[in-house]
């Protein structure tokens, strides 16, 4: 792919671990050039995290490899005068500055928003933190699990017997990163019109609660607090996990016609004339009885057999896969979701990394270079500085001054 949406956008990435690096990974996939600024000798903490101790010791832990392909790594200590000068030269021609320090850390070392704006009036500065830059909790330490707990997310995860439970992956980090990436692209669009940069204050807590959707809004509207329901759907029945002959099967017959088709295909037309299951609200009130009847009927075939029978008939149904099974999905292969890259340690191993889930004009967005070794691009800083400066700043400043007709011909 030659021209991605963010081709020409230059990002300085000061972030660590997941939320920030995940954000800049999305920007890279969309075409941005990302320079990862790392602490000399140590780098991103994620370099030392993952299930393989040897990779962790080598500074290329699995947690780092997951969302840092396609970026460059430059070691700079922002408390060192020479490194600060190099950083400021890059900053002067950057389009985006991204960080996920605790609120106020960057300001305390001399780079608050007024100073950043003086150094680069068109800069889009995005700060990701657990609770935002303001408020009584802005200095509280925050990891994904802390945010999951404070958002109410854990309280509705699991069953009444097992809740609260942490979601099985760092969803608050990921949602925070996605929210930041969305805000950055919107800010770049606004700058295209105005020529002015802005300061984006991203709160992982608020992003997580926004993503909880109905669990929050139903309470705000109805005053009824949501409760943990395990694998059942509070808005419909039958909708959840059921028991096929060889294991679990998800079915979401949320609409009346889907329920009727389900009853026909499992040979239980009698359920359609049972007053307990006559409509959505009745089925929700008698969820346990309905689930029992369905589990009895579903036990006669395997989960895959039911999936192949129900799904083509319009009843959402599918097996529950393990992560290894999901990774080998033919659907993902068809869409080109994963990309194979060489390991950065020149070992000859193959590194498989995820994409964004978006096709751009029919083409998946993929990284083209392997995750960088710590400081791999240190020697290129003068070249990068000169190239960024000669390319002009900001990346869209020339277009911002054109009329729509001139822009189409630019």
Catalytic residue positions, numbered: 173
Q: H or E segment at 405?
A: helix 404-409
Kindly report the number of other CB atoms within 10 A of residue 190's CB atom: 14
Across 30-187, the runs of DSSP E, i.e. the strands, are: 33-38, 72-75, 96-99, 124-129
Kindly report the number of other CB atoms within 10 A of residue 391's CB atom: 12
CB 253 within 8 A of CB 262: yes
Kindly report the number of other CB atoms within 10 A of residue 60's CB atom: 28
The phi-psi region of residue 366 (left if phi > 0; otherwise alpha if psi is between -120 and 50; otherwise beta) is: beta
- Over 115-160, what HEC string results? HHHHHCCCCEEEEEECCCCCCCCCCCCCCHHHHHHHHCCHHHCCCC
Peptide linkage before 164 cis (omega within 30 of 0)? yes
Tell me the C-alpha to C-alpha distance, in Å, between residue 269 and each of 265, 274, 278, 396. Answer: 9, 9, 12, 63
Kindly report the number of other CB atoms within 10 A of residue 107's CB atom: 16
- Over 217-260, what HEC string results? HHHHHHCCCCCCCCCCCCCCCCEEEEECCCCEEEEECCCHHHHH
The phi-psi region of residue 29 (left if phi > 0; otherwise alpha if psi is between -120 and 50; otherwise beta) is: alpha
Measured distance CA(207)–CA(204) in Å, rounded: 5
Nearest to 352 by CA among 362, 342, 360, 363: 342
């Amino acid at each position: 792919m030659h021209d991605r949406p963010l081709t020409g956008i230059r990002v300085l990435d000061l972030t660590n671990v997941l939320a920030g690096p995940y954000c800049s990974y999305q920007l890279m996939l969309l075409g941005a050039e990302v320079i990862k600024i790392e602490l000399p000798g140590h780098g991103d903490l994620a370099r030392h995290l993952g299930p393989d101790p040897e990779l962790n010791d080598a500074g290329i832990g699995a947690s780092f490899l997951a969302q840092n392909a396609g970026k460059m790594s430059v070691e700079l200590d922002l408390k060192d005068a020479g490194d600060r000068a190099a950083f400021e030269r890059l900053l002067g021609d950057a389009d985006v500055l991204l960080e996920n320090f605790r609120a106020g850390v960057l300001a305390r070392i001399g780079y608050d928003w007024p100073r950043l704006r003086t150094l680069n009036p068109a800069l889009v500065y995005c700060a990701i933190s657990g609770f935002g830059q303001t408020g009584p909790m802005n200095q509280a330490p925050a990891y994904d699990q802390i945010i999951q707990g404070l958002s109410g997310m854990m309280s509705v995860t699991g069953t009444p017997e097992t809740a609260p439970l942490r979601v099985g992956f760092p969803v608050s980090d990921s949602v925070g990163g996605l929210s930041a990436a969305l805000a950055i692209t919107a800010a770049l669009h606004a700058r295209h019109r105005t020529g002015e940069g802005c300061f984006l204050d991203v709160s992982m807590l608020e992003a997580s609660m926004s993503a909880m959707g109905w669990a929050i809004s139903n309470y705000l509207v109805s005053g009824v607090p949501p409760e943990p329901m395990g694998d059942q759907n509070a808005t419909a029945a039958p909708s959840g996990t059921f028991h096929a002959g060889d294991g679990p099967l998800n079915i979401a017959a949320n609409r009346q016609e889907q329920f009727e088709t389900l009853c026909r295909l499992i040979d239980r037309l009698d359920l359609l004339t049972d007053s307990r299951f006559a409509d959505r609200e009745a089925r929700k009130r008698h969820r346990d009885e309905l689930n029992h009847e369905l589990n009895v009927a579903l036990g006669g075939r395997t989960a895959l057999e039911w999936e192949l029978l129900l799904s083509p008939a319009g009843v959402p149904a599918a097996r529950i896969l393990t992560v290894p099974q999901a990774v080998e999905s033919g659907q993902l292969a068809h869409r080109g979701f994963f990309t194979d890259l060489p390991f950065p340690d020149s070992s000859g191993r193959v590194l498989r990394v995820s994409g964004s889930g978006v096709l751009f004009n029919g083409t998946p967005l993929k990284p083209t270079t392997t995750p960088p070794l710590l400081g791999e691009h240190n020697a290129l800083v003068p070249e990068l500085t000169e190239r960024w400066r000669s390319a002009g700043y900001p990346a869209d400043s020339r277009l911002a001054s054109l009329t729509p007709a001139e822009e189409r011909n630019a």
